[in-house]
Chain A
Amino acid sequence: MIDLLIIGAGIVGCQLAYDLSHFKLSVCVLEKNVEIMNETSSANSALIHAGYDPEENTLKAKLNLIGAKRYPDLCKALNTDYQAVGSLLVAMHEDELSSLNELYERAIRRDVQVERLHRDEVIKREPNINPNVIEALFFPTTAIITPWQMGYALMNHAVLNGVELRRNEAFVSVVRVDDHYCVTTSKGTIQARYVINAAGLQAQSVAKIQNPLNDYPIQFRKGEYQVSDLEDENYLNHVIYPCPSNKGKGVLAVKTVEGNLMFGPTSTVIEDPYNHGTTKDGLDEIDIKIVQIIKPLPKSHLIRQFAGVRPSPVSKDFILKEDKGWFDCVGIDSPGLASAPGISEYVIENFVQKYFILKRKAMVEFIWPHRIHPQDEAKRAAMIEMNPRMGKIICVCETVSEQEIIDAIHLPVGARSVKGVKRLTRPGSGRCQGGFCETAVVKILARELKMLPSEVPYDNEAFLLPYGVEHE
């Protein structure tokens, strides 16, 4: 019997695992995919919003602020990326000024740093802004992180400190047995005193399996994005938001930690939470909307399109509720990434602490092993001296060596798939999109995980066939 079972290793599950790993508790995390951080948490704007945006008196408003405050320390402790690049919320028309004013007032009330900038100042700070800009709010605390790196760092720390992670194992059903829950998974059963449902896209249906009366109204919203080549690394200095509308924050221009620009998201209601395909209409919408806020980039600079699905609560606020020793985290859409440390704190205060007297334990630190910066020749030379494979470059676009890939595979919670290697060390993220490195990555994964190349998963499943096998 374990103390706590967390269903789902998205950003909320990872943050909870990390926070709970500081205490004398037995915790297990169930993740149905081969990789953690595989769904909503991996396909979003990668932003730590400053906290002015959510409506008053909502959990979103409260927890976004807590999250935004916690991230700098968390990232410092784990050695993960955190860049407070700041954001500009730009008004392009006179009729947007009232909502600009409203957000300005709200930011002041919430003690979120904000500055009003006139047109000339905006253009000076952001030369590639659409010159039609009339005024902007500058939020210096808006930050960018690398979501999957954050999630893996949190989970690695948790696992090093005693949390059990079960990957590639799905929640199937649950029954209440006396004073605990018996959870059936795709691979067996788990007895847990208490359960936290952080199942993301599945949270609503998992909640309903536990108690059919818990039918939380959720809409699935798809957000599509475009990604540009590293060529445009210095095109923007800030995250650029349009004035928000009732459909959400609108199509943003996001500078990412790795240097690519991201444009998106759209917001389309869909039925199937796993319909995360891009659409012609969605990509066209980004094309049209992005040039309303920034000067256009050549289309040939776009290297990738993707879409993420978020579970949007109809109530427009996170649903955080207990039901007899079972806690649901449902409807964690934007600003879910920014709020995750706040959500975790909330769950611990309002749920875990009700049942346990939390006792701190001695901790093993986990430090995220960054890849060597492509321009850092001195560090590269020193590392090659210790290990020649640091000099064998597999990914030319992003300058990633074989050893860095091997290290990512052998983390306590390491990469187990082509996608995992891509997320943790970048091969496949660059302009060739894996053209030069994918075959090598498959061979490295096979060798390190002691499997055949034809068994290496792309995402959750193997994707190559051995040549010569007879096919039906």
Chain B
Amino acid sequence: MNKRDCVIIGGGSAGLAAAIALKKQGIDVLLIEREDELGGILNQCIHNGFGLTRFKEELTGPSYAERMVKAFHELKVEYRINATITHIKPDKTIHYIDEEGVHVVQAKTVLLAMGARERTRGNIQIPGDRPAGVFTAGVAQRYLNKDGLLVGKKVFILGSGDIGLIMARRLTLVKAEVVGVAEIMPYSNGLTRNLIQCLEDYSIPLYLSTTITQIKGRQRVEAIELSRVDENLKPIPETAFWLDVDAVLLSVGLIPDNQLSMMAGIEIDPRSKGPKIGANYETSIPGIFASGNVLHIHDVVDFVSEEGDQAATAILNYLNKREETAETLMLSTDQNFIYALPHTLNPNMHNKLKYRVRRPMHDVRVCLVSKGMVVHSVKKEHLLPAELEMMIIPQKVLAQCENECRLEIHDET
């Protein structure tokens, strides 16, 4: 059987970063990508705004990918494209299919870097007809930017996530009319810069606390019904109104794509929808690591690549058997957080916590609490669900904790 020190699943921004870092250390890496090119979703994100942290300049998605892929090829990392993994077993054998056949690889370590998939109409259950013209924003983006095909002339976008906002601008630039964007929450779910640069600059209306309650159209979308929602996100029937459109784009969230992880029996956190991990990105199966959007959904690609780098360091340590003591601290949170990572902290080093809050908050203190005592805290003027937050917990703080600690939001006043 083909044996490898590390098999990386997915050639997007996380997988490429990890492959580069590992190969630089002389590790025998095989990267497996199901699409026909490396770079992942970046290849269809032709707008700019990528790379400010990693490359200290503003790049488009394809040029960010190009830099990563160039470094990858310079190191002569081995890879397969058009290769689909059918399953990963807990013993780290990986089965994949490509045009050459069915292959099985025995890996010493595995990095899960499969990214995410988009939530669909079926997931959010929009009632109505099922004609052509309902697309997820990513599919519409791919049609337009990779295949030169436009999904409609009069488009409505549901969800104010970043992909939806970017597509509002992109469609306007190719002379499709974007009738509006609706967001079920009372606040936007996109980055502030995208709200300004993609909607406000083009006078595209944003309907907050509003959702699509019906789609109409026999062969093609003809109209949509919008309704305002109450504080429990339930549509208010009296507020319903119709708009004539020929396409609907859904930007209603990404789901970490963990089908393979689940088949391998890896424990999944129902809140982040990604694998449960330790401070070294290791999942519940020793030797299997995860990074990027398969772990949790990021806002900025630079941090996806950074997680790839960090997972690579952890994989290197694992291969060199430089594992720290098994002693760990369980991390829990109060109800103000959607999720926090990692699930267990390592008291022997500085730990970087990542979290997302459930609703917008102002002037609060994010506190790490152990044995009823606040051991570390950071003041935050603004916290938004749309923005992934990070904080460093110094090692000396964690040294004071025992068994577990908890992330809490305390009022600053």
Report which A residues bind B (CB closer than 8 A): 227, 231, 274, 276-280, 282-283, 300, 302-306, 374-375, 377, 380-381, 384-385, 388-389, 391-393, 396-397, 399, 401, 418, 431-436, 438-439, 442-443, 453-454, 458-461, 463-471
Binds A, one of B143-151, B276-284, B287-295, B314-322: B143-151
* A439→B139 contact, CB < 8 A: yes
Report which B residues bind A (CB closer than 8 A): 34, 82, 84, 86, 95, 97-102, 117-118, 120-123, 125, 127-133, 136, 138-139, 142-144, 146-153, 174-176, 213-216, 218-220, 259, 262
Also in contact, A467 and B82, with CB within 8 A (given A280-B127, A302-B125, A393-B34): no
User: What are 22 A-B contacts defined by CB distance under 8 Å?
Assistant: A277-B130, A277-B214, A279-B127, A279-B128, A283-B127, A302-B123, A304-B122, A381-B102, A391-B98, A393-B84, A399-B84, A401-B97, A431-B259, A435-B118, A439-B146, A439-B147, A443-B147, A453-B147, A461-B220, A466-B149, A468-B148, A471-B176
Q: Which residues of B contact A389 (CB under 8 A)?
A: 99
If A392-B98, A461-B220, A465-B152 are given as contacts, then 16 extra A-B residue pairs at C-beta distance below 8 Å, sorted by A number, are A277-B216, A283-B125, A305-B127, A377-B102, A384-B97, A384-B100, A391-B100, A392-B82, A433-B121, A435-B139, A436-B117, A438-B139, A459-B132, A463-B133, A466-B148, A471-B175
Specify which of B120, B176, B216 is in contact with A432 (CB 8 Å cutoff).
B120
Q: Which residues of A contact B117 (CB under 8 A)?
A: 431-432, 435-436
Q: Which of A227, A397, A436 has the most CB of B within 10 A?
A: A436
* A276→B129 contact, CB < 8 A: yes
How far is the CB of B379 from the nearest CB of chain A, in Å?
A: 35
* A384→B99 contact, CB < 8 A: yes
Please, which residue of chain A has its CB at the minimum distance from the CB of B118?
Answer: A435
Closest 3 CB pairs of A and B: A458-B132, A463-B132, A393-B84
Q: CA A393 – CA B33 in complex, angstroms?
A: 12
Q: Which residues of B contact A274 (CB under 8 A)?
A: 218
Also in contact, A465 and B122, with CB within 8 A (given A377-B102, A393-B34): no
Q: Which residues of A contact B98 (CB under 8 A)?
A: 391-392
Q: Which residues of B contact A231 (CB under 8 A)?
A: 262
Q: CA A217 – CA B128 in complex, angstroms?
A: 27
* A467→B148 contact, CB < 8 A: yes
Also in contact, A374 and B86, with CB within 8 A (given A277-B127, A463-B220): yes
Please, which residue of chain B has its CB at the minimum distance from the CB of A463?
Answer: B132
Also in contact, A385 and B101, with CB within 8 A (given A227-B122, A433-B121, A439-B143): yes
Q: Which residues of B contact A399 (CB under 8 A)?
A: 84, 86, 97
* A467→B218 contact, CB < 8 A: no
* B99→A467 contact, CB < 8 A: no
Q: CA A274 – CA B130 in complex, angstroms?
A: 11
How far is the CB of B216 from the nearest CB of chain A, in Å?
A: 7
Please, which residue of chain A has its CB at the minimum distance from the CB of B104?
Answer: A377
* B129→A467 contact, CB < 8 A: no
Q: Which residues of B contact A460 (CB under 8 A)?
A: 219
Q: Which residues of A contact B152 (CB under 8 A)?
A: 465
Q: Which residues of A contact B136 (CB under 8 A)?
A: 435
How far is the CB of A405 from the nearest CB of chain B, in Å?
A: 14
* B138→A435 contact, CB < 8 A: yes
